[in-house]
Amino acid sequence: DVKVTQSSRYLVKRTGEKVFLECVQDMDHENMFWYRQDPGLGLRLIYFSYDVKMKEKGDIPEGYSVSREKKERFSLILESASTNQTSMYLCASSLSGSLPLGDTQYFGPGTRLTVL
């Protein structure tokens, strides 16, 4: 079974703090993804990575950065958290590199971040 884990289920931070969300997958997947999920807006892609040290912007990268130093780990960084970044953050991974068509993504349990 594919296992994607996220470092925290719930996180509360203050405005202006630097926030790290960590994601680890144990299936040697090439691709990793960060989404945010908001009521009425569905899931939106923030960033993804198809290889170590590689990253691609998704639909809403503003205010976020990412880091992938090891294949199994993908970090989402909020350089200076703001209240409009309060959301559910979901990490996912998929097997094949370079994001081929139809590659199935497997998701972690999510981190519910609140920025006060």
The yes or no reply on residue 101 touching other proteins (CB under 8 A) is yes
The yes or no reply on residue 11 touching other proteins (CB under 8 A) is no
Smallest gap, in angstroms, from Cβ of residue 39 to other proteins? 9
15 CB-contact burial (10 Å; exposed 0-12 / middle 13-18 / buried 19+): exposed
Contacts (Cβ under 8 Å, ≥6 apart) of 103: 31, 94, 95, 96
The yes or no reply on residue 60 touching other proteins (CB under 8 A) is no
Q: How is residue 84 annotated by DSSP?
A: G
* Identified binder of other proteins from the candidate list 23, 90, 113, 115, rule CB under 8 A: 90
The yes or no reply on residue 67 touching other proteins (CB under 8 A) is no
Radius of gyration of the chain (CA): 13
Interface ranges with other proteins (CB under 8 A): 9, 40-43, 45, 48, 58, 88, 90, 92, 99-110, 112
